Amino acid sequence: MTTQGSASTVNDAELHSEDLEEKGLDAEKARWYTDTVINAELADYAPVKGCMVIRPYGYALWENIRNALDEMIKETGHQNAYFPLLIPESFLKKEAQHVEGFAPELAVVTHGGNKKLDEPLIVRPTSETIINHMFAKWVQSWRDLPLLINQWANVVRWEMRTRLFLRTTEFLWQEGHTAHATEVEAEEEAKKMLECYRKLAEDWMALPVLTGEKTERERFAGAVRTYCIEAMMRDGKALQAGTSHFLGQNFARAFDIKFQSQAGELEYAWQTSWGVSTRLVGAVVLGHGDEKGLVLPPRIAPIQVVIVPIYKTDEEKALVVARCEEIKALLAAEKIRVEFDNRDNYTPGYKFNHWELRGVPLRLNIGPRDVANNVVEIARRDTMEKIRGVAQGGLVNEISGLLVAIQKNIFDKALAFRQTNTVKVSTYDEFKKVLEKGNVFIETHWDGSSDDEGKVKEETKATIRAVPFNFEPVEGKCMLTGRPTTRRVIFARSY
């Protein structure tokens, strides 16, 4: 319509070389994902390579996820703080593995205030280096520990292939950074925060997750151990939804974070870092969505109940609208997030599609006969069932109960889907055959090297998602090398 508009349309294709190269079913699913995110107005392409605009509906979803996690972070004794966006280039180089991991992805500020800078500044890809520089200033004695800090911030990683929410050049996240007096304490912290992430995914986002450890190949650059939560999406692929790292003393040595112990010795601190990002919004879309669009878990849904009025005559309209307003006020008073779709230029059918696409858990349809009978019709988004003739008197109880039931049903459905789509294999031949048929989680014995993992990835696109915590040691043989091992892992193709 406008010059601006068409310019940006041309740019969208160029700027967003999204990862759409899969074939067949995968490509279809990728298109479904992008269409759903755009059409449900969760996000839009930005006129900057690999960047997105998070629109109000997507941001409200992110706010609900963020607020739930922020409360857990505070309850576990952490404090929010804020560190600079721009990091001196020299800082990045202090931890060898860290710089190796991030060097290819950096955005660099070379000019400020119309002058070339003496030292380039990096737009943070993560804040370990600058935060640990400050920790070295703040930590002197064992009394200063543990230092339990969290930051909500934007970070930039120059990604080659991007996808809305799942992998964007800039994203929003929280990054926790902690320092402890002992190894045991730091290890406990890393696991405690992973448990917060599990709760966030399962209890709030209704996404069942595997918890476990990453192999060396998939480890965070600079970590000793990386723990993760991994979720299965509706296409059978895995999505890494959060990671928590035990950093040992790597960054403490690089940044000289020393403290006087109770025994009077000068010691390096033990550390962790952990983060989740706006990727979680993508996880909700891909983890629960169906052909009609989003299916949102009630606990994080920006709108839990939408009211759609149905009428023909002006007389009917007056009656129905008054009743809708009344019910809206009733639900809002009970802290139910309710919206009344009173637009007069759309049909009820259009509105049904509109809100189904947006995944609103419950829709109330109210027509003249409902008004006369003091009832409403309730439509569930998760099952698409309709419950007719719900008496107005019991409406708040009915809706509160349904919201709980939907939250549980969405979780159960995702869990059953994962269980159905998890396969055990003993040999690499079996492994390849299973993956030829489609995306699943594969449980298998593994004793291969990082190079072996690389080979499997190259040949099948599958990687080790986790060595799950709940896998007890069982005698067996590595599917690739045939060597005896008790370690079992989960392989999958992933986002």
Q: Which of 93, 199, 258, 292 binds a second copy (CB under 8 A)?
A: 258
Q: CB of residue 130 vs a second copy: minimum separation in angstroms?
A: 7
Please identify, using beta-carbon distances, which residue of 258 and 292 lies nearer to a second copy: 258
Please identify, using beta-carbon distances, which residue of 87 and 434 lies nearer to a second copy: 87
| 354 φ/ψ angles, rounded to the nearest 5 degrees | -55, -45
| 179 φ/ψ angles, rounded to the nearest 5 degrees | -130, 140
Q: Give the footprint of a second copy on residues 42-61 (CB under 8 A).
A: 44, 46-49, 51-56, 59-60
**x/- letters, 161..180, toward a second copy (CB under 8 A):** --------xx-x--------
Q: CB of residue 50 vs a second copy: minimum separation in angstroms?
A: 9
Stretch that binds a second copy, among 133-141, 192-200, 214-222, 369-377 (CB under 8 A): 133-141
Give the DSSP per-residue string, 217-283: GG--TT-SEEEEEEEE-TTS-EEEEEEEEEEETHHHHHHT-EEE-TTS-EEEPEEEEEEEETHHHHH
Stretch that binds a second copy, among 116-124, 189-197, 231-239, 317-325 (CB under 8 A): 116-124
Neighbouring-strand partners of residue 328: none
**3-state secondary structure string across 270-334:** EEEEEEEECHHHHHHHHHHCECCECCCCCCCCCCCEEEEECCCCHHHHHHHHHHHHHHHHHHHHC
5 scored as a contact of a second copy (CB under 8 A): yes
CA distance 328 to 399: 12
The set of residues, in sequence order, having a beta carbon less than 8 Å from that of 285 and lying 6+ positions away, is 33, 36, 37, 42, 165, 294
| 115 φ/ψ angles, rounded to the nearest 5 degrees | -125, 150
Answer whether 44's CB lies under 8 Å from 37's CB.
no
Retrieve residue 216's tokens.
Answer: 């060396």
108 scored as a contact of a second copy (CB under 8 A): yes
Stretch that binds a second copy, among 80-88, 209-217, 304-312, 432-440 (CB under 8 A): 80-88
Q: Which of 19, 34, 93, 158 binds a second copy (CB under 8 A)?
A: 158
3-class secondary structure, 65: helix
CA distance 285 to 472: 32
End-to-end CA distance of the chain: 35
264 scored as a contact of a second copy (CB under 8 A): no
Q: Which of 204, 246, 255, 441 binds a second copy (CB under 8 A)?
A: 255
The set of residues, in sequence order, having a beta carbon less than 8 Å from that of 315 and lying 6+ positions away, is none
Please identify, using beta-carbon distances, which residue of 203 and 256 lies nearer to a second copy: 256
Q: CB of residue 166 vs a second copy: minimum separation in angstroms?
A: 16
Stretch that binds a second copy, among 118-126, 291-299, 418-426, 465-473 (CB under 8 A): 118-126
Answer whether 488's CB lies under 8 Å from 464's CB.
no
CA distance 302 to 192: 28
Stretch that binds a second copy, among 3-11, 185-193, 241-249, 417-425 (CB under 8 A): 3-11
Please identify, using beta-carbon distances, which residue of 154 and 420 lies nearer to a second copy: 154
27 scored as a contact of a second copy (CB under 8 A): no
Q: CB of residue 45 vs a second copy: minimum separation in angstroms?
A: 9
Stretch that binds a second copy, among 148-156, 220-228, 353-361, 389-397 (CB under 8 A): 148-156
Neighbouring-strand partners of residue 258: 268
316 scored as a contact of a second copy (CB under 8 A): no
Q: Which residues bind a second copy (CB under 8 A)?
A: 1-5, 8, 44, 46-49, 51-56, 59-60, 63, 79-88, 91, 103-114, 120-121, 123, 130, 133-134, 136-138, 140, 143, 149, 153-154, 156, 158, 160, 169-170, 172, 255-256, 258, 345
